[in-house]
A and B are shown apart, each in its own frame.
Chain A
Amino acid sequence: MDRDLLRQTLSHHGQSLFTHLKCEQSENPDFKAIEPDLSKASYQRKYGGEDNALVEQFIARKADILFAPSWKSSALLEDPYAIMPPLEQFMEVSFEERRNLLYRDIERGDIVIGRINSIRDFGFFVTLICMGGGLERDIEDLELTALCPLRDVPSNGNHDDPLSYYQLNDLIRAGVKDIDRYHEKITISLQPSSLGPNLMNLKLGVFSRDDMPLQYSRSVRVANDNTETYERVLEGSLGYSNPSNVEYLLGKIGVSDTQPPSLMRGLQSKHFLEEDFATTIRKKQSASWALKCVRVGVDHFKSGRHVEAMNEYNKALEIDTNNVEALVARGALYANKGSLLKAITDFELALESCPTHRNAKKYLCQTLVERGGQLEEEEKLVTAEGLYRKALALDDSFQDAKEALKKIELLIQKSLKLREEAAAKEAEKAKNVETSAEKLRKILKEEKRYIHTNPSERKSKKKKRKHRRSSRGKKHQQVSSRDNRSVADDEEEWYPAPPNTSASFLDQKSSVVRPFEGPESTEEGSQPPSKGRSHSYRSLSSVSDAPDNSRFEDDPFDASPQRAEGSKGKGVRGDKTSDGDVKEREGSRGQRKIKHRRMSSSSAGSEHSRKSDQYTNDLPSQSHISTYRRSDSGKYGSTERGDKKEQERGTRRSDGGDYRSSTDATRNGKGSSAGGSQKKELPTNLLDLFSQIAQFEKEKCVKPKK
């Protein structure tokens, strides 16, 4: 049995496997022979955990087959070509001749294999048996002796005297270090530095009989058997039958088969022109065949037969992928039909291969502007702006693009102003909502007490939350499916849009989210890390619960809440209570963020301020919304323990909803990763803020315990 292999298996599985083995293989003499060896080491299970009892029993039962040495494939002897014994041997070159030739041809860096015949204090002498690389000669009967001086013997660990490691008659593989051709002396070395770069990987030193080079073992066989001729050895070798040995050997020898040499005048490689080669002709031909299809397709298009035209274009692209004309024509067809995104892809692909194609540029500009117009209507002003800029970059003189860009810039400015106004109004309202803030504080105190009395209930709460989550999942699914398309579009055209407003939420006074600036610059300055402030935030958010209710369905639901929830989650980490009302707070915080986002992208901000006036004291609607949101935050709350990454939150959210389809989940994941990447922009101050809240809560918990 293969001892090393067994040892490896035992160290992976542990002592239990050893016990099994002992029990199952008690009759096996091979096992008994190595059992004492194995039992010396105690085996710890490497990857603690599962107890693979069944597998271990299987291993134990089949150990005699699994670890049998005959199972090892003898891949060592498979050669890509027939490795032959030295030709000298067959030619029966005379002793003298061979000896002379060897001394003439042996070089530094060749490898020799020999047997130690005497060890002195200055080194040891080796009788050379065969060559091990670099030169192939028949030297066994020449009985050459080489010296390996002491300094070329590497020290072996604890032995003080490196020579003591070696014994008489050890087989040694060494590199030739020096040759004195005149005096016929060879010096060898066991230092790896004595080898050349191509033979560097061979290990020098003590060598085993089994590893003798193949040509040597074959040469021994030939020496012993008179009937063995070169031909027979050649044809008997497996490498001879390898169908690719010609290629391999050509590569080894260094002759090219693709630009083959010839002695015929007419076949000299310089006479071959590149354009006569098959691949070149084929490309030209494909391009011309594809062009024909495109022409037919354009005819169809002009006559209104769009389906046939598309077929022709696709056929052309099958014949010649990335054919510029076909791509441009197909792009135009897509644009006409209204699949603007596909058109844009096609045009861009065409421009990649041919950046100066006039039509491609023109059509691309037009399509981009059209797409921009579409986005404007969907109120994705910034993305639209990006597209207009792109179109202008392509073609400066495109009038439509310029006008559209101006228009959209104005729109964005307008919406910014509106948001400013609304924010100012919100700030004023902060003072009016004492009542709700007080209520929330009370609720918070209750929670602390609750946590203090039964900390074990957290788990049951989790279960409840999960339950709730799954029931809410349906709702989420409905909402998310509606917004799938818009989310998908968002993903596809994710030009650098302004960072989200989550950070801006905290800074009520300067909550002007300028889409072209980062939030950090405005937020970092004004984040007082105080609990009181955070309370006021929460209360503010409760104010604006209701108006967002109506907007929920319209939002790209999945993207924004995750951002909101992410930061919420941090707060929850601090709270640890994560009970209904906290969730409510967080839910409302999330809504607030959504609200901000909406404000940044729509020009109807005034609506918000009006509505918030109406619903200031409408608590029932608040709670309705907050329960709706509870499931979201609940997920976050339940999974919050210590530092967790934003992305994880997103994915856990998607995991939690059993009723969601996997596609929704991935979208959520995407959304959350978008949110998560946005999240990274959150300043560290925010983290500080939340951790301080956490600490404060902790202290509160600790005190009553004491």
Chain B
Amino acid sequence: MARFITPGSMEAVSRLGGAPGGKRGAPALDTDTDSTREIKTHFRVCRFIMETGVKLGMRSVPVATACVLYHRFFQCVSVTVYEPYLVAMSCIYLAGKVEEQHLRTRDIINVCHRYFHSSSEPLNCDGEFWDLRDSVVQCELLVLRQLNFHVSFQHPHKYLLHYLLSVKSLVNRHAWSRTPVAETTWALLRDCYHGTMCVRHAPQHIAIATLYLALLSYGVEVPVGEREWWQVLCEDITKEHIDAIISDLLHLYDMEAKCT
């Protein structure tokens, strides 16, 4: 697979990445196993994707798609063979196309370059720039092939918003307006994408779990009937599911301290 990426472009990207100790975070601890190191790397790269997404003005769903593409790609291949940041850039580019929010490679490269070299001048229109561009485009093809061109996913976002509206109607409107349940659950959902939990659980389950956690955080009382609200929203979910997802999510927040 490496033959699709020219030596020049790989070099360019590693130059982009700067010194190994730079943005890639704290040096690896000896006690870290390979897998922990990998998880940390993935966390950092996903953080990179999300930051870039904000700076590019990407909506939540394309950012989610980019992260899912990234996770799925590295589920099959090793992180040592492919430069993860390059893959991330290509995933962003591809996600923009899939979710109909087209991004220009020039903008992606500009933002990424500045991410690694803060307060630097924008790149000149020279060989390095074109090399980078070439590598992004080549890698995009690589990602597509690796994923067998299955690049369209169902995301929790749509479900979450509908569930929000339905639950909102159960609760007293003043109580609802006092509590930022919508912002919190949206934040929780976005933060899910730092780890692989986003690909390990069904979208409806993730949506319910984030909503559940948000309501729990603020102590919002939801009326109870024969069935719980979350049971109604999705037939096949159980309390254990919800708890598992919540614990995964909380684990991600713990990781933040370790990785950045």
Contact = CB atoms under 8 A, between A and B. Distances in A.
Interface of A: 81-82, 84, 86-88, 90-94, 97, 101, 104-105, 107, 135-137, 229-231, 234, 240, 243, 245-247, 249-250, 252-255, 257-267, 269, 272, 275-279, 281-282, 284-285, 288-289, 292
Given A87-B167, A253-B164, A255-B186, A93 B194 contact: no
B169 interface: yes
A278 B111 contact: yes
A218 B122 CA distance: 56
Nearest to A83: B165
B254 to A, nearest CB: 11
Interface in B172-216: 172-173, 182-184, 186-188, 190-191, 194, 204
Contacts of B238: none
Contact of A282 (B110, B157, B184, B229): B110
A91 B54 contact: no
A267 B169 contact: no
A257 B60 contact: yes
Given A91-B228, A101-B223, A284-B122, A267 B47 contact: yes
B161 A81 contact: yes
Contacts of B169: 86-87, 135-137
Interface of B: 47, 50-51, 54-57, 59-61, 100, 106-108, 110-111, 114-115, 118-119, 121-125, 157-158, 161-162, 164-167, 169-170, 172-173, 182-184, 186-188, 190-191, 194, 204, 223-229, 232-235, 253, 256, 260
Given A88-B225, A90-B227, A264-B194, A246 B161 contact: yes
A93 B59 CA distance: 37
B54 A285 contact: no
A272 B54 contact: yes
Most buried by A among B56, B57, B169, B234: B169
15 contacts: A91-B224, A91-B225, A97-B225, A107-B173, A246-B59, A246-B158, A250-B186, A255-B186, A263-B184, A264-B256, A269-B54, A272-B54, A285-B122, A285-B123, A292-B125
A243 B155 CA distance: 12
Contacts of B225: 88, 91-94, 97
A196 to B, nearest CB: 12
Task: Say whether chain A's binding surface is mostly helix, strand, loop, or mixed.
Answer: helix
- The CB with the most chain A CB atoms within 10 A, among B54, B165, B204, is that of B54
Contacts of B224: 91, 93, 97
Contacts of B123: 285
Given A81-B162, A249-B162, A267-B50, A255 B223 contact: no
A264 B110 contact: no
Given A107-B173, A278-B110, A255 B183 contact: yes
B113 to A, nearest CB: 8
A105 B106 contact: no
Of the listed residues A243, A276, A282, the one surrounded by the most CB atoms of chain B closer than 10 A to its CB is A276
A253 B161 contact: yes
A276 B226 contact: no
Contacts of A275: 119
B37 to A, nearest CB: 19
Contacts of A88: 170, 223, 225
